[in-house]
Amino acid sequence: MGLAGLRIVLVEPAGPLNVGSVARVMKNFGLEHLVLVNPQCDRLSTEAMRMAVHAKEILESAVVVDTLPQALQGCVSAIATTGRDRHCPFPLENPRDALPWLLEAHNQPAALIFGREDRGLTNEELNYAQRFVRIPSSPNYPSLNLASAVGICCYELAQQTQVEDTPTITATELAPLELVEAYYQQLESLLLKIGYLYPHTATSRMEKFRQLYNRAHLQNHEVAMLRGILRQVEWAIDNQTDSKNL
């Protein structure tokens, strides 16, 4: 797959100039797949096309979806970018250290997610990623323009492809993100049922479980095994309840 198959995902981009600039910098470094989640501007506007220069085809072929899970459909790995530093609930990494991980599964899609220009990604949206990147910048003015952030990350990825071309994980091993997400939903439902989770704290507690499992980079057969365990536990609970009612 390499860089050509990597998805750049923009969540609710508001500025057509930014979207056009993102397309241009993607083409600069050999990326082709742009996904826009509920965009707040017209990617085909005159402003966007003018900023894209010779990358107009990236805007024309961009995929537009309503939600972040739809943007990640079929992906086996995803990294989210964030400008947060203090009080961030997720471990933050340097782009140079984290981004090469996206290239390890060469034959399956991967995604690099960028948030809104004014407020980035919500905690709920960050939950859909497995690793998290913060671009180091001056504390005097830490906020980066969206296109600049995309350009920095694309550059780091392009540099990595020149020094490393051997995958460490085969494509068929990693579970698609939507399969892992289904496991999280099943796990949360069961933990609420048995009283381990409570509705008012479920979101924060599940974030911890997500971080734990995301570090494991679950494979297809591992997700199947985990879901099988949950189904067996559910069966045991239901049958125990039935037997008590006899």
Domain 177-245 has CATH 1.10.8.590: yes
Question: Could you please report the per-residue DSSP string of 107-144?
Answer: TS-EEEEE-BTTTB--HHHHTT-SEEE-----TTS-PP
The string of pLDDT tens digits covering residues 42-72 is 999 999 999 999 999 999 999 999 999 999 9
For the question of whether the overall pTM of this predicted structure is more than 0.85, the answer is no
The string of pLDDT tens digits covering residues 155-214 is 999 988 765 544 444 555 788 889 999 999 999 999 999 999 999 989 888 988 988 888
Task: Give yes or no on whether 2-163 and 177-245 have one common fold.
Answer: no
Buried b (16+ CB within 10 A) or exposed e, 69-85: eebbeebbbbbbbbbbe
What the block records as the tokens of 156 is: 């780091």
Mean pLDDT for the stretch of residues 76-100: 85
What pLDDT score was predicted for residue 93?
93
DSSP code, position 219: B
What pLDDT score was predicted for residue 2?
64
Question: Could you please report the per-residue DSSP string of 158-204?
Answer: HHHHHH----SS-TTTBPPHHHHHHHHHHHHHHHHHTTSS-TTTHHH
- Confidence check: pLDDT of 1 > 80: no
Question: Could you please report the per-residue DSSP string of 3-69?
Answer: GGGEEEEEES---HHHHHHHHHHHHHTT--EEEEES-SS-TTSHHHHHHHGGGHHHHHT-EEESSHH
Task: List the beta bridge partners of residue 78.
Answer: 111
Domain boundaries, the chain: 2-163, 177-245
Single out the residue of 15, 48, 25, 23 nearest to residue 151, CA to CA.
25
Single out the residue of 35, 31, 37, 52 nearest to residue 99, CA to CA.
31
2-163 fold: Alpha/beta knot (3.40.1280)
